[in-house]
Chains A and B, each alone.
Chain A
Amino acid sequence: EAGVTQSPRYAVLQEGQAVSFWCDPISGHDTLYWYQQPRDQGPQLLVYFRDEAVIDNSQLPSDRFSAVRPKGTNSTLKIQSAKQGDTATYLCASSDWGQDTQYFGPGTRLLVL
């Protein structure tokens, strides 16, 4: 069974540029999570979905961040006008709704110069 996949693995951009991260969850998992993990910190939940619906996006840092999951499968996290403070690894995880184990992808490492 394929795990959670994410792309790209790395991204480097200048402040003010936009970037998108893509996540393909484990097949059949209806719940999808996005986390931000700054260097030497634990993951911090940004948003999570059940199918295509946003369940909680209260932790998205600002209007510059958005996440969608239009067909309830793959998901995209986008940062408009990135800032140096957005430098972090962005993790995607998936699970079955009601199950307590999340399965994580390898992450996308973002560096904003």
Chain B
Amino acid sequence: AQSVTQPDARVTVSEGASLQLRCKYSYFGTPYLFWYVQYPRQGLQLLLKYYPGDPVVQGVNGFEAEFSKSNSSFHLRKASVHWSDWAVYFCAVSLDTNAYKVIFGKGTHLHVLP
């Protein structure tokens, strides 16, 4: 069955350090993948999305993600974390090309130390 696994429930990094949030997916066929961010007391916002093509996808606020078919992964990266990046990050896979039905992972809480 299609699924998304985010193995790290919580990640703590220092401000200015680099970041990688891990995501593994299970999907039969061509996956359409997303990263969403949920800031405190706000709704989810789309960071970036992957459709078949260039495996490295650029998003907002300096985030990027790399798709790997061989590893079934879609990890999120940022070169230098800012305190405002403190949030919960969700990886998701769409069951259709228009993303009507999306399966989300459990999320990774990112804590940023000053």
How many whole Å from B41's CB to the nearest CB in chain A? 7
Q: Which residue of B92, B99, B100 has the most chain A CB atoms within 10 A of its CB atom? A: B100
Q: Are A102 and B99 neighbours in the complex by a CB distance under 8 Å?
A: yes
* Chain B 84-102 interface mask (CB, 8 Å, partner A; 1/0): 0000001010100111111
Please give the number of chain B residues whose Cβ is less than 8 angstroms from any Cβ of chain A in the complex: 24
Q: Which residues of B contact A16 (CB under 8 A)?
A: none
Residue in B closest to A3 when the chains form the complex, CB atoms: B43
Q: Assuming the A-B contacts A100-B32, A100-B94, are A43 and B44 also in contact, with contact meaning beta carbons closer than 8 angstroms in the complex?
A: yes
Give the interface size class of chain A. 20 to 34
How many whole Å from B84's CB to the nearest CB in chain A? 18
Q: Are A31 and B92 neighbours in the complex by a CB distance under 8 Å?
A: no
Interface: A72 (CB within 8 A)? no
Which one of A63-71, A75-83, A104-112 contacts B?
A104-112
Q: Which residue of A48, A102, A105 has the most chain B CB atoms within 10 A of its CB atom? A: A102
- A sample of 17 cross-chain residue pairs with beta-carbon separation below 8 angstroms, ordered by A number, consists of A3-B43, A42-B4, A42-B103, A42-B107, A43-B44, A43-B90, A91-B44, A98-B98, A100-B32, A100-B94, A101-B49, A102-B46, A102-B102, A103-B43, A104-B44, A104-B45, A107-B43
> 12 other contacts beyond A100-B49, A100-B97, A104-B45, with CB at 8 A cut-off?
A3-B43, A40-B9, A41-B106, A91-B43, A93-B43, A93-B44, A98-B98, A101-B49, A102-B46, A102-B99, A104-B44, A107-B43
